[in-house]
Homo-oligomer: A and B are copies of this chain.
Amino acid sequence: MELTIDPMNRSSPVPALTDHLGYWLRLVSNHVSAGFARRLERHGVTVAEWVVLRELLDVDALAPSRLADRMGMTRGAISKLADRLVAKALVDRQDDPQDGRAQTLALTAAGRRLVPRLARLADANDAAFFAALASRERATVEAALRKVVAQHGLKHRPVD
């Protein structure tokens, strides 16, 4: 390929950035996330914090390390993230009485109250961004993305 003789010096038609599906994915994804971040900002919450809150809603209590696994972040990051959420009184951190190393994170009453409001923002953001797509089209895209996730066994890594 690159060894092909090319007297006219046009041997390497380097593909454009936009030739990769990953480019479009990242472009749209970054805008969707940034848009959501803007909406969350008014509530003093970041996207990563939202994910924690939403995760905690279902489980009632979760070890930071489990959260790290679920979110695809390091324990160090979760440690600091939890600090912030505790400071905002949205999350309660408690030592595990069974295991001196372990902790457990849970929503406070305020956190539990906030989640549904933020969920509505998430709905609105998604709807606004993908309004251009017919619902059939949206389903197709989601199916394709799920297929990619399945094929590569991608673990949750919603935040960078």
Residues in A lying within 8 Å of B, measured CB to CB = 2, 12, 14-17, 20-34, 36, 51, 54-55, 57, 72, 115-116, 119, 122-123, 125-126, 129-133, 137-138, 140-142, 144-152, 154, 156-160
| Contact between chains at A125 and B27 (CB < 8 Å) | no
Copies of this chain? 2
* B residues in contact with A157, CB < 8 Å: 27, 30-31, 34
What chain B residues lie within 8 Å of A29 (beta carbons)?
Answer: 22, 25-26, 28-30
Docked-complex contact A138 and B26, CB < 8 angstroms: no
Cα A98 to Cα B137 in complex, Å, equals 51
Knowing A132-B147, A147-B132 are in contact, say whether A24-B142 is a contact too (CB < 8 A).
yes
